[in-house]
Amino acid sequence: MTAAKQDDELDFRRHPRTDFTPVGKVSKRQAQREIEALRDGIAFHDHKYYVDNAPVISDRLYDELFHRLQEFEAAFPKLHDPNSPTMRVGGEPVEGLAKIRHTAPMLSLHAALERAEVEDFLDFVRRETGERKPELVAEPKFDGLSLEVVYEHGSLVRAATRGDGHTGEDVTRNARTIRSLPLRLAASDHAPDFLAVRGEVILHSRAFQAINRRRIERGEEPFANPRNATAGMMRRLDPKAVAEARLDITFYDVLDIGDTAIVTQWNALEMMHDWGLKTDPHADLVSDRREVREYHQALERERENLDYEIDGIVLKLNDCAARERLGTRHRSPRWALAWKFPPRQQVTTLQDIVVQVGMTGMLTPVALLKPVDVGGVTVSRATLHNEDEVRRKDVWPGCRVRVQRAGDVIPEIVGRVDGSRSPPDKPFELPRYCPACGTKTVHEGAYVLCPAGLACAPQLVGHLQHYASREAMNIDGVGEKTARKLVGAGLVEDVADLYALDRDTVKQLEGFGATSATNLVKQIRASLEPELDRFLFALGIRHVGQRVAQQLAQHFECLEAVEQASLDGIEAVPDIGPEIARSVHAFFHAKENRRTLDKLHDHGVAPRRVRRRRGRQPLAGQTFVFTGTLGNWTRDEAEARAEALGARTTSSVSAKTGYVVAGTDPGSKLDEARSRGVTILDEHDFAKLLKREET
């Protein structure tokens, strides 16, 4: 055989042949060459498919190559390579995370800290169910990242973060790297056609430490705790890095299982277990105060031995029919309760009190602490809120303090411990001049403010961060660090300047490369047509939170109307009182704000007009793309049905596309959707979705 022919045979990029010699008849040397060639070829086709979006071979041929590689790897374990495509490496980086609407809302839990509250809950459940000893399932409350995972016909199709409870981010590619997450359900012939489950992605202590070690080696900031690390890893755009993180997942809720009925929570846990979904062995049935208390106590003791974080227990009414009757509060079910463990505390030295300036110009005293480990997290600073608080806590540089950490809460100082060095002669006072910009400060009640607004760098940084935040314009990538760099480099003087940034300018900033600069600019541009309420919220108008922003948007329908509204006009909006009205009115009449708004407009930022709500809009915020011919509808009809439920329809697939509905003879949009990991529905799925949402 000539060398040229041999090379051709082993070139799975351009000549992917499948007339293989049986694995058993291949010499080790030859196997090694073929394995290498296969790995090379498959990686090449992965790249073509997922990155270039232009596959050059059929899925079937790809599968044959993949299978061949698996066979080889099984036959020659010594040739194992952790970077083989058969390992769950996740492939090339993605550009961004698409938004996904959850099958069912992902609720949160009402949390209790006191035993009395838990007993009230038990009384309530007893009263409502009419049972003397209603059965409850007690589970650990995992401290990780909540994930919705969907299986269709037994295969994993998507995974999404919780997001705002209705819409999360598509992290399917990252989820696939979690080795405990089955890509197919066990006994999948018995699995339901459709299954949406909820679990918690967690990091074991060793994996957490390993991640931080690697970060420190690379000169990156270590994660503060396993929960942050989990969230940070799951949202990374490079699944390879995620695969390295060795995340784990444990399941605790069936969100949707099509038409099948779930009788009890216990049953749900058992079923999930049978399908190969990991559940936690600590779950138990309890039915009275004593049992609940004992479970809480036992688990709190056990907590110290676990190699993953839990921050309390969760109690759930077992009987699902009874749950239905109890129903749901605003965002949390009435049939469940979290009972948190008491916060962990430590004693350390307060080394100094420094002053920080926030987005609103408020000066905040912050305690710098001698770093101390509080239940696995290093604490080195704690807020002291204001001058009064410093006096009340009676702390000073050099004294010993007790600090505590309670779940999500930023570490706080509980108080001073006796035996501290003597107090200083002068009590703590906030400075008369802003420590950031030197402007004379003003007093407002217990607070001290710097009135310089956006001319004061930390206020501008705070504004940018708020503007870009998930609840506001949802611009990924403008966090505190980036905002600081932009302000520090003099590139941005108000939020409108974000839109003047281009790749080459951003690239000059420390820590940015061509790709990250392109991504940032893309993200910013993607926010050109925000929903009006998000935009109003993003402006950071005093007293305008998300709810007030929504009221304003619903009432005025377009930005111009809000801008031109009179004071009385604003006060006429439901739930808006004189103080808020004055703040909104003043905001739109202040010269510098007018300038920023004009600049935003000139850069093409155009908040979308609110369409008056007709009925429910469960698909609001979702973008649909149709491709191919549908059997029962014309394209127009199908689009109209989706739009009537609030969806947007567009003609091409982009990062914003939530669903692609594919009929027969679909076009290239389907490939585009596949490569972006967009949810693909056939006509039947689409009909089911309409049925579900229209009722």
SS3 102: coil
Q: How far is the CB of 244 from ligand IVH (least distance, A)?
A: 24
Catalytic residue among 141, 316, 340, 393: 141
Indicate the residue among 142 and 587 with the shorter CB distance to ligand IVH.
142
CA dist 200 → 149, 248, 469, 673 (Å): 10, 8, 24, 27
Q: How far is the CB of 226 from ligand IVH (least distance, A)?
A: 13
Q: How far is the CB of 336 from ligand IVH (least distance, A)?
A: 5
- Could you say whether residue 225 binds ligand IVH (CB under 6 A)? no
614 contact partners, CB below 8 Å, separation of at least 6? 644
Indicate the residue among 146 and 346 with the shorter CB distance to ligand IVH.
146
Q: Measured between alpha carbons, how far is 645 from 624 in angstroms, rounded to an integer? A: 12
CA dist 266 → 11, 111, 283 (Å): 53, 21, 9
| Whether the Cβ atoms of residue 136 and residue 289 lie closer than 8 Å to each other | no
Residue type, 247: L
Q: How far is the CB of 497 from ligand IVH (least distance, A)?
A: 36
Q: How far is the CB of 135 from ligand IVH (least distance, A)?
A: 16
| Whether the Cβ atoms of residue 555 and residue 532 lie closer than 8 Å to each other | no
Q: Which of residues 51-110 bind ligand IVH (CB under 6 A)?
A: 107-109
Q: Measured between alpha carbons, how far is 17 from 82 in angstroms, rounded to an integer? A: 25
Length of the chain: 695
Total binding residues for ligand IVH by CB under 6 A?
15
- Could you say whether residue 141 binds ligand IVH (CB under 6 A)? yes
Q: Measured between alpha carbons, how far is 283 from 267 in angstroms, rounded to an integer? A: 12
Indicate the residue among 111 and 606 with the shorter CB distance to ligand IVH.
111
CA dist 456 → 436, 530, 674 (Å): 7, 27, 47
- Could you say whether residue 341 binds ligand IVH (CB under 6 A)? no
Q: What radius of gyration, in Å, describes the C-alpha atoms of the chain?
A: 28
Indicate the residue among 47 and 334 with the shorter CB distance to ligand IVH.
334
| Whether the Cβ atoms of residue 173 and residue 319 lie closer than 8 Å to each other | no
Taking CB under 6 A as the binding criterion, the range among 138-146, 344-352, 447-455, 504-512 that sits at the site for ligand IVH is 138-146
Instruction: State both tokens at 56.
Output: 């050059």
568 contact partners, CB below 8 Å, separation of at least 6? none
Instruction: State both tokens at 607.
Output: 């908040």
Residue 160 is inside which H or E element, if any? strand 155-161
- Could you say whether residue 139 binds ligand IVH (CB under 6 A)? yes
Whether 669 is catalytic:
no
Apex 325 CA angle, 320 and 326, nearest 5: 95
Burial class (CB in 10 A: 0-12, 13-18, 19+), 472: buried
Q: Measured between alpha carbons, how far is 538 from 471 in angstroms, rounded to an integer? A: 8
Q: How far is the CB of 219 from ligand IVH (least distance, A)?
A: 32
Indicate the residue among 174 and 593 with the shorter CB distance to ligand IVH.
174
Burial class (CB in 10 A: 0-12, 13-18, 19+), 371: exposed
Indicate the residue among 108 and 380 with the shorter CB distance to ligand IVH.
108
Indicate the residue among 72 and 308 with the shorter CB distance to ligand IVH.
308
- Could you say whether residue 146 binds ligand IVH (CB under 6 A)? yes
Q: How far is the CB of 635 from ligand IVH (least distance, A)?
A: 38
Up-side HSE of residue 522: CA atoms within 13 Å toward CB?
Answer: 12
Taking CB under 6 A as the binding criterion, the range among 219-227, 333-341, 477-485, 509-517 that sits at the site for ligand IVH is 333-341
Binding mask 103-122 for ligand IVH (x = CB under 6 A): ----xxx-------------
Of 135, 170, 248, 253, the one binding ligand IVH (CB under 6 A) is 253
Indicate the residue among 45 and 162 with the shorter CB distance to ligand IVH.
162
Indicate the residue among 139 and 248 with the shorter CB distance to ligand IVH.
139
Q: Which of residues 189-218 bind ligand IVH (CB under 6 A)?
A: 200
Q: How far is the CB of 162 from ligand IVH (least distance, A)?
A: 6
Q: How far is the CB of 248 from ligand IVH (least distance, A)?
A: 14
Of 314, 315, 464, 576, the one binding ligand IVH (CB under 6 A) is 314
- Could you say whether residue 142 binds ligand IVH (CB under 6 A)? yes
Of 96, 222, 276, 333, the one binding ligand IVH (CB under 6 A) is 333
456 contact partners, CB below 8 Å, separation of at least 6? 357, 361, 434, 436, 437, 439, 450
Q: Measured between alpha carbons, how far is 571 from 564 in angstroms, rounded to an integer? A: 13
Indicate the residue among 109 and 191 with the shorter CB distance to ligand IVH.
109
What is the bridge-based pairing of β-strands 111-112 and 99-101?
Answer: unpaired
- Could you say whether residue 538 binds ligand IVH (CB under 6 A)? no
Exposure string of 276-288, with b = 16+ CB inside 10 Å and e = fewer, is bbbbbeebbebbe
Determine the residue with CB nearest ligand IVH.
146
- Could you say whether residue 336 binds ligand IVH (CB under 6 A)? yes
Q: How far is the CB of 164 from ligand IVH (least distance, A)?
A: 12
Binding mask 150-189 for ligand IVH (x = CB under 6 A): ------------x---------------------------
**Residues annotated as catalytic (active site), given as ranges:** 141
Interface residues with ligand IVH (CB under 6 A) are 107-109, 139, 141-142, 146, 162, 200, 252-253, 314, 333, 336, 338
